A = this chain, B = another copy of it.
Amino acid sequence: MRPYEKDPAAIYAQSFATVQAEARLERFSPDMAVLATRLIHACGMVEIADRLAFSPRAAEAGRAALSAGAPIFCDCEMVAAGIIRRRLPAENEVVVTLNDPDVPARAREIGNTRSAAAVEFWGERLGGAVVAVGNAPTALFHLLELLDAGAPPPAIILGFPVGFVGAAESKAELARDPRGAAFVALKGRRGGSAMAAAAVNALAAGLGTDA
């Protein structure tokens, strides 16, 4: 077998150099370049840089929320599992309500998915929070519906639902009208929990060397 790179710092440096060389990061503000770099690292696709949508000063809004101790609401356990806890600046709580025992009944009541129903259990703490959606388009759609109905807006919505039914549409709706929240989203079908978690990690500490 051929030799391979085993040194974490060298792996990181080579990886970062590849992203720098290929992703045309100069189109972004410094903070968004950090966020884009982490997203690209998470999926191995430099071309997603062409498909990012975001509000002005989104990264700053996310950082400020985390520094102020905002909770992080995730639509699934995989997103929560990818958040590097030691990076969080204020021991921020990471919350997943998808497996709350009351969720299936609430899903039946509202005629929506469990992922959508789980968003209702974020409650008033949604105001000023960080929201990371890495799986379910219905979670993002229903979050926007709740905001339309008067729920307090989060500080930032990280929109990375994935797939063929509703993913592109829910992210387009978020970008069209983020309802008072800052946002970052990957347009189209692609997304996923690794990207959603990477976005949180980028906000939490910038681009460290333990990527």
**Is the CB of A199 closer than 8 A to any CB of chain B?**
no
User: Are A164 and B19 within 8 A (Cβ)?
Assistant: yes
Total interface residues in chain A, CB < 8 Å: 50
Could you say which residues of chain B place their CB within 8 Å of the CB of A191? 44
- Residue in B6, B82, B162 whose CB lies within 8 Å of A193: B82
User: Are B14 and A141 within 8 A (Cβ)?
Assistant: no
**Is the CB of A52 closer than 8 A to any CB of chain B?**
no
User: Are B137 and A4 within 8 A (Cβ)?
Assistant: yes
Could you say which residues of chain B place their CB within 8 Å of the CB of A119? none
Contacts A193-B193, A194-B192; A5 near B43 (Cβ below 8 A): no
User: Are A163 and B6 within 8 A (Cβ)?
Assistant: no
Tell me the interface secondary structure of chain A in the complex: helix
User: Are A5 and B166 within 8 A (Cβ)?
Assistant: yes
Cβ < 8 Å to B, chain A residues 171-211: 173, 188-194, 197
Contacts A11-B113, A43-B192, A192-B192; A4 near B169 (Cβ below 8 A): yes
Query: Complex formed: what's the CA distance from A202 to B113 in Å?
Result: 22
State which of A60-68, A73-81, A123-131 sits at the interface with chain B: A73-81
Closest 4 CB pairs of A and B: A44-B189, A81-B81, A18-B164, A6-B112
Q: Write the residues of chain A forming the contact surface with B, with a CB cutoff of 8 angstroms.
A: 1-2, 4-8, 11, 14-15, 18-19, 41-45, 77-78, 80-82, 111-114, 116, 137-138, 141, 144-145, 148, 162-167, 169-170, 173, 188-194, 197
